Amino acid sequence: MMNRQSYLVWPEIIYLAIGSAFTGLLIFFLVADVSILDHNNIEWLIGRGDAETHFIGTAYFLKDQWRFPPGINPNYGLENSSSLVYTDSIPLWSLLAKLINSLWSANSNTGLVQVYGLYILISIQLLVAASYISLRFFSTNRTLCLVGGLLLALLPIPVWRLMPEIGHISLTSCYLLVSAIALYCLYQARHRVMRIGLVCIGFGVHPYIGVMLAGLWFSSTFDIYKTELAKLVSELLIGVIIILACMYIYGYFGFAFQVDAWGYGFFRGIYLICLIVRDMM
């Protein structure tokens, strides 16, 4: 039976930190090459599908000066300004990397550094920890929960995203989804700041993840305040304002929209309506 009042005490927190760090490191060795932890190693990103685009976006951003909003990346995009969001460069992680970029660049042979190897390792370790916390709502056996966290970290979804032909590094951040589920299970109003903060982090990693976390946040907020309409509206309004402010910082809205696209109608022959409207053939 689910125990919504299950909290971690300090000895267990230390056990979780050590266990998830070690277990995550072990999983990392199984699914990835340890050489990607080297910030000078960019070869594993070159020619690797979308990962190459993510890396190039981050490279331009790290070489640029600080701007406002911080997430915009105008030097990458020719005449159309861009941002970290639209190159899937994990905006929040890239912003953190820029704070210490001078230290990394000083030790770089090429002047280019990559920060994704370390992010993958931390993502796996956080996934183990988040899975452990979630499983603690159903079991008091610490070892069993840690083993369960290991199994969840080996799910095909995040591992498949790391394959060379895929390279969707930001979408390996399943720890955010598991953390959101754990917060939903807590089902208490006093955790609302953590829920909103998690949504803000999600949008700082990838829009898809941010939208999924926003759905869980809305659902939990509605469940808690469904009998208090005024509080419900207030909580949702404050949360939306905070989330939009974070999205602005990441670069979702920080530049003039100037869209240049190609491809619409090129594959119109596959539309079912073409069987009825001949002009679309």
Whether 263 maps to a domain, the answer reads no
Whether 80 maps to a domain, the answer reads yes
Confidence band for 267, pLDDT divided at 50, 70 and 90: very low
- Are 22 and 152 part of one and the same domain? yes
- Are 211 and 113 part of one and the same domain? no
Whether 128 maps to a domain, the answer reads yes
The per-residue pLDDT for 3 is 47
The per-residue pLDDT for 269 is 46
Whether 1 maps to a domain, the answer reads no
* Crossing angle of the two packed helices 192-203 and 207-225, in degrees rounded to 10: 160
- Proportion of the chain above pLDDT 90, given as a percent: 17
- Are 230 and 110 part of one and the same domain? no
- Are 39 and 163 part of one and the same domain? yes
Whether 22 maps to a domain, the answer reads yes
Last residue in a domain, options 150, 172, 188 = 188
- Are 121 and 93 part of one and the same domain? yes
- Total count of residues recorded for the chain: 281
The per-residue pLDDT for 257 is 52
- Are 16 and 154 part of one and the same domain? yes
- Are 124 and 221 part of one and the same domain? no
The per-residue pLDDT for 142 is 81
Instruction: Residue 214: give the domain boundaries.
Output: 189-255
User: What's the mean pLDDT in 184-212?
Assistant: 86
User: What 8-state DSSP symbol labels residue 65?
Assistant: P
Whether 280 maps to a domain, the answer reads no
Whether 5 maps to a domain, the answer reads no
- Are 109 and 209 part of one and the same domain? no
Q: How many domains does the chain have?
A: 2
- Cα–Cα dist 182/2, whole Å: 11
Residue 87 · residue 56 · CB < 8 Å: yes
Whether a cis peptide bond, with omega within 30° of 0, leads into 69 is yes
**Positive or negative: CA dihedral 81, 85, 89, 94:** positive
User: What 8-state DSSP symbol labels residue 66?
Assistant: P
Last residue in a domain, options 148, 163, 188 = 188
* Crossing angle of the two packed helices 50-63 and 116-135, in degrees rounded to 10: 110
Place of tokens 């989804």: 177
Residue 52 · residue 165 · CB < 8 Å: no
- Cα distance from N-terminal residue to C-terminal residue, the chain: 58
- Are 102 and 232 part of one and the same domain? no
pTM of the model: 0.81
User: What's the mean pLDDT in 31-55?
Assistant: 83
Confidence band for 8, pLDDT divided at 50, 70 and 90: low
Mean per-residue pLDDT of the chain: 80
- Are 173 and 243 part of one and the same domain? no
Last residue in a domain, options 132, 155, 188 = 188
- Cα–Cα dist 57/61, whole Å: 6
Whether 67 maps to a domain, the answer reads yes
The per-residue pLDDT for 205 is 93
- Are 165 and 78 part of one and the same domain? yes
- Are 34 and 107 part of one and the same domain? yes
- Cα–Cα dist 16/37, whole Å: 23
